[in-house]
Amino acid sequence: SAVISQKPSRDICQRGTSLTIQCQVDSQVTMMFWYRQQPGQSLTLIATANQGSEATYESGFVIDKFPISRPNLTFSTLTVSNMSPEDSSIYLCSGSPGPGEKLFFGSGTQLSVL
Amino acid sequence: KQEVTQIPAALSVPEGENLVLNCSFTDSAIYNLQWFRQDPGKGLTSLLLIQSSQREQTSGRLNASLDKSSGRSTLYIAASQPGDSATYLCAVRPETDSWGKFQFGAGTQVVVTP
């Protein structure tokens, strides 16, 4: 099973600033996924990140707000740009080693925007 | 559009009782279904993955069943312990997308009292 290290684990940020979240996987995964979990709610997919190509964003999420990098098969970053209090959430990265295999998650980043 | 429902939203049981958690989905065309555990403010821990061709999966005190045609899965946790207190989420992967885009339920929050 894959282990995903995610950092930071939590942060408190000021309105208008940006935060970059990093995820490092201990093995190669073809697809990585970024989710948001707002307080008391389930997970919402932000985007799918494939190595060497631009991320694919879900409806309601745009690249200017949530730029994603995926430079290789073991690493990805998500930036939350120009933050507002509405961006306060848990952000989660995940990956799957192959089609139909288990989805593994990082430990999450709890973001609070003041 | 696939809808995943978990009932009840919250559950409290005394230690030692068996836990029964339900997950239903509206579109039976699924590739597989995965159960997760989430502790407060943390990421998701994978529990069990059931492929669409399987009826059940077991790991220790955990047993998950799948009735694809009726759109239901049940997670059984035998002899519950206070350490089982967490939110349990189920997620389904569509038959047409074996690489990901799981649809998540809202979760069942479990409290096991000593």
Question: Which pLDDT score, from 0 to 100, does residue A45 have?
Answer: 93
Contact partners, residue A21, CB within 8 Å, separation at least 6: A6, A7, A8, A77, A78, A79, A80, A91, A93, A109
CB contact under 8 A, B36 and A106: no
A23 is written with which tokens? 């995820």
Integer Cα distance of A46 and A39 in angstroms: 16
Looking at A77-91, B12-26, B32-46, B71-85, which range is the least confident one? B32-46
Residue B10 phi/psi, 5-degree rounding, is -145, 150
User: For A49-64, what is each residue's pLDDT tens digit?
Assistant: 988 778 999 999 999 9
A22 is written with which tokens? 């990093």
CB contact under 8 A, B34 and A103: yes
Of B34, B100, B107, nearest to A42 by CB-CB distance is B107
Integer Cα distance of A109 and A41 in angstroms: 15
CA-based nearest residue in chain A for residue B108: A42
User: For B51-74, what is each residue's pLDDT tens digit?
Assistant: 999 999 999 999 999 999 999 999
CA A88 to chain centre: 14
How distant is the Cα of B69 from the closest Cα of chain A, in angstroms?
A: 19
- Is B75 in contact with B35 (CB distance < 8 Å)? yes
pLDDT band at A1 (very low <50, low <70, confident <90, very high): confident
How many beta-carbon contacts under 8 Å exist across A and B?
Answer: 58
Instruction: Tell me the three state secondary structure of residue B110.
Output: strand
Q: Chain-wide mean pLDDT for chain A?
A: 93
Question: Which pLDDT score, from 0 to 100, does residue B41 have?
Answer: 82
Q: What is the DSSP letter of A60?
A: T
Q: What is the DSSP letter of A36?
A: E
Best CA proximity match to A78, nearest among A58, A48, A107: A48
Cis before A8 (ω within 30): yes
Helix (H) or strand (E) holding A19: strand A19-25
- Tell me if chain A has a CB within 8 Å of the CB of B34: yes
